[in-house]
Amino acid sequence: MRRALADLLILKDPGLSNFSDFGLLPPILDALAAEGYDNPTPIQSQAIPQVLAGRDLCGIAQTGTGKTAAFALPILQRLAGETTRTPRGTCRALVLSPTRELASQIAQSFRSYRGRLPLSTAVVFGGVPLGPQQRQLAAGVDILVATPGRLLDLIDRRALELSGIRVLVLDEADRMLDLGFIHALKRIVRLLPKQRQTLLFSATMPKTIAALSEEYLTDPVKVVVTPPATTVERVDQTVTFVPAERKRELLATILRDPDFARVLVFTRTKHGADRVVRHLSQAGIDSAAIHGNKSQPQRERALAGFRAGHTRVLVATDIASRGIDVEGVSHVVNFELPNVPEDYVHRIGRTARAGAAGSAISFCSDEEKPYLRDIEKLTRVAIPALPAPAALRIAASGPPVRLPERPSPPSTRPAPAQPRSRRQRNGPRRPNPASAGNRQRNETADAGSLPAFLRFPRGKSTVHSARS
Ligand code: AMP
């Protein structure tokens, strides 16, 4: 019998505080110790006992909370306890992920957490040849992590059959729906046995996800661990009001501060991401882009370089960034604000991982102020404004300028509004490419010693309201 979500049990107690309290198998406990996990995170302490008991679960949690282990550990425990071998061309646990990056990371987590357990893991996603994936599935796989489109491709080619699935995980379900996977998802679920355990994770709980939970989960436990505001509160956030055509200059300037050790820069579009990389390169700053137009090897290379610290700046679009799990991201820069406020929460959650603190800086043009208002409404946080340097506040048509070379006292005046006609020409989704004049400014701008007000964001003392 299914129950309305509103009636579900919402677990608020802190749960168990030791992995050994869960009764996990020694190889799993050893693997967790090897990973350096001392204690379960809140979602792990709340979800693991319920999932081990066989309950369906609806987890409202975003990446960075430890949700992968929350579903992976009980799945490993369950499959390890079964004596049957996985037949050829089938799998026993299926994890659906919206993006390739997230799928790879989930598969990697399963490999880390299984330790010495003889359980096989495979990951399948689009954009790479089918052959090797077909061959992997032919032998039978215990745990399969997949993106929905490629999974259906493989099913249609008879490389895989789903009737033996015991556990289904829908990870980042809200993003799967955002990406238009609803029909693929429905097709996949129709191929699964009715008798199964289903775990759904979503960062947000819009009506569509509530409906999905009601349809696919049976008597689920609901665990809510990180409402957006909680993560958001751990991030030191600021917004700088700056004309769209001056953003590149501002970005190059702040990136000269060595405190910006590992920086994720977000743009709204793929082309925007490429333009930022090109501009930074002109300004002598190395960066890499990660977005949907890049091939899988390119994405992996960019991510690996960023993770290893070879690339200090990674420029990403929202979709490509989902699930990027890189420790020690010092700053998230919203070069363009997202038009979907939830994306802001996902973006800034890339810093402040696993309890650490982090900084998020948003560049907001006049056209983006409505997006900022939506974000503040969602997060219930008024983001402090940090003035742009005076050199960046001159009218867009002004002459090329050099940024000040000496620290100046913090300005307390908001950025002046830009001429209306210019704003109207620059739609919010498509900031104009830099003019030749701007490019010249970018190349000559030298903030060797950064003005104090550009030392983002060490304090919130320069707070003022510049919002319209
Ligand atoms: P996730 O939300 O699953 O993407 O996990 C976010 C990050 O937290 C990953 O880098 C995990 O390795 C890490 N992590 C997960 N669980 C724990 C834990 N219990 N203790 C320490 N780190 C953890």
pLDDT digits (tens, 9 = 90+) for 302-326: 888 998 999 999 999 887 666 566 7
Q: Are 100 and 299 in contact (CB under 8 A)?
A: yes
**Helices of type H across 317-460:** 318-321, 341-348, 369-379, 420-425, 436-444
The alpha carbon of residue 424 and the mean position of all alpha carbons in its chain are separated, in whole angstroms, by 31
**The CATH number of domain 5-224, selected from 1.10.645.10, 3.40.50.300, 3.30.420.40, 3.40.50.10090:** 3.40.50.300
β pairing state of 221-224 and 57-60: parallel
- Domain range annotation of the chain: 5-224, 235-401
Token readout for 265 is: 């820069």
What's the CA-to-centroid distance between 16 and ligand 1, angstroms?
Answer: 17
Whole-model pTM over 0.75: no
Cα of 119 vs centre of ligand 1, distance in Å, is 21
pLDDT tops 50 at residue 144: yes
Residue to substitute in 20, 38, 41, 223 for testing ligand 1 pocket (most ligand atoms within 8 angstroms of CB)? 41
More confident residue, 96 or 9: 96
8 Å CB contact between 361 and 254: yes
Q: How many CB atoms lie within 10 A of CB 6?
A: 8
Does position 248 have pLDDT exceeding 90, yes or no? yes
CATH of domain 235-401: 3.40.50.300
pLDDT averaged over every residue in the chain: 79
By three-state DSSP, how is residue 271 classified?
helix
Side chain identity, residue 400: P
343 band by pLDDT with thresholds 50, 70 and 90: confident
Query: Are β-strands 331-334 and 313-316 bridged in parallel, bridged antiparallel, or unpaired?
Result: unpaired
Once rounded to an integer, what is the mean pLDDT over residues 145-170?
97
d(CA 310, CA 306): 6
Q: How far apart are CA 450 and CA 405, in angstroms?
A: 7
Q: Are strands 167-170 and 287-290 parallel, antiparallel or unpaired?
A: unpaired
Q: Which residue has the higher pLDDT, 318 or 43?
A: 43
Q: Is the per-residue pLDDT at 2 higher than 60? A: no
Beta-strand runs (E) in 263-346: 263-266, 287-290, 313-316, 331-334
Decide if pLDDT at 237 tops 80: yes
In this prediction, residue 392 has a pLDDT band, given cuts at 50, 70 and 90, of low
Cβ neighbors of 370 (< 8 A, separation 6 or more) are: none
Ligand 1 centroid to Cα of residue 64, in Å, is 6
Ligand 1 pocket check for 98: Cβ under 6 Å: no
| In contact, 227 and 203? CB cutoff 8 Å | no
Report the pLDDT value the prediction gives residue 449, as an integer from 0 to 100: 35
Q: How high is the pLDDT of residue 329?
A: 87
Determine whether the shortest distance from the Cβ of 354 to ligand 1 is under 6 A.
yes
Closest residue by Cα to residue 240 from 463, 39, 397, 6: 463
Q: Give percent of the chain with pLDDT exceeding 90.
A: 55
